[in-house]
Chain A
């Protein structure tokens, strides 16, 4: 059974609209993350949350807003979508524990296309 669920798998949106990307993890982890991979670019870190609190934000735009309604959820709301937002968005999670035991595990990704 998949331990990190991302929904939807594929998403097509029009410029200017708003979408929410869903992430749920069933690993019992207390830290969650969002990364993005645009065409021909490496995966880029966006946000990290620990115990449902924002720890790090390296996204320049306020159009990207994480939402953590439950400990094992970290959704990503994107407003005023632009074609440059087209990318695959990956959710990840880890457990805050001793060094070496805190590996980040990744979900399958949501591929977003903005027209």
Chain B
């Protein structure tokens, strides 16, 4: 089957510090998975933050970056300098080669930014 692991359920970072949220994935059925980071801000719905569909490529959005590493099956989310407005729950996810199939989500990491 498919699975996505986010090891940290909650992360607290001081404003202007750097951030890394770890994500690893496993799939037995998808040769070339698409990888995603979704974000849910307080009181809002789930939004796509970034996606990468090719191994070795990097995706970026709103100052966040993630690199699709097929060797380590990882897709860690990083940001050089966080802001209070980045406080949200971040979900790493894996999808099939063609997008109109199920997406498998990680458990989510709640990010709190200390002012």
Interface set of A (CB-CB < 8 Å, partner B): 4, 31, 33, 35, 41-45, 48, 50, 55-56, 58, 90, 94, 96, 99-109
Taking CB as reference atom, which chain A residue is nearest B102?
A45
B38 lies within 8 A of chain A by Cβ? yes
Are B99 and A94 in contact, with the CB atoms below 8 A?
Answer: yes
Show 9 A/B contacts (Cβ-Cβ < 8 Å), sorted by A.
A35-B103, A44-B105, A45-B103, A99-B53, A99-B98, A100-B99, A102-B99, A104-B99, A106-B38
Contact partners of A55 in chain B: CB under 8 A: 100-101
Choose from A48, A99, A102, A103 the contact partner of B102 (Cβ within 8 Å): A48
Taken residue by residue from 24 to 55, chain B's Cβ proximity to chain A (1 for < 8 Å, 0 otherwise) reads as 00000000000000100000111110010100
B100 touches A43 (CB 8 A): no
CB-based contact A103/B99 at 8 Å: yes
Complex: how many Å from CA A35 to CA B38? 14
Listed in ascending order, the chain B residues whose CB lies under 8 Å from chain A are: 4, 38, 44-48, 51, 53, 91, 95, 97-108
**Residue from B45, B101, B103 in contact with A107 in the complex, judged by beta carbons closer than 8 Å:** B45
Q: Which of B4, B47, B53, B104 contacts A106 (CB 8 A)?
A: B47
Closest Cβ neighbor of B47 among chain A residues: A106
Determine the chain B residues whose CB is within 8 A of the CB of A100 once the complex forms. 53, 99
Q: How far apart are the CA atoms of A23 and B51 in the complex, in Å?
A: 25
**Nearest B-chain residue to A29, judged by Cβ:** B100
Whole-angstrom distance between the alpha carbons of A112 and B84 in the complex?
30
Cα A90 to Cα B38 with chains together (Å): 13
Cβ–Cβ contact A103 & B91, under 8 A: no
Task: Please give me the residue from chain A that is nearest to B93 by CB atom.
Answer: A43
Q: Which A residues touch B108, using CB under 8 A?
A: 42
Tell me how far the C-beta of B45 lies from the nearest C-beta in chain A, rounded to whole angstroms: 4
Name, among B4, B46, B97, the residue most crowded by chain A CB atoms within 10 Å (CB to CB): B46
* CB neighbours of A50 from chain B (8 A): 100
Q: Which of A41, A44, A56, A109 contacts B101 (CB 8 A)?
A: A56
Q: Say yes or no: A90-B46 contact (C-beta < 8 A), given A42-B107, A43-B91, A103-B51.
A: yes
Selected from B4, B98, B106, the residue in CB contact (under 8 A) with A102 is: B98
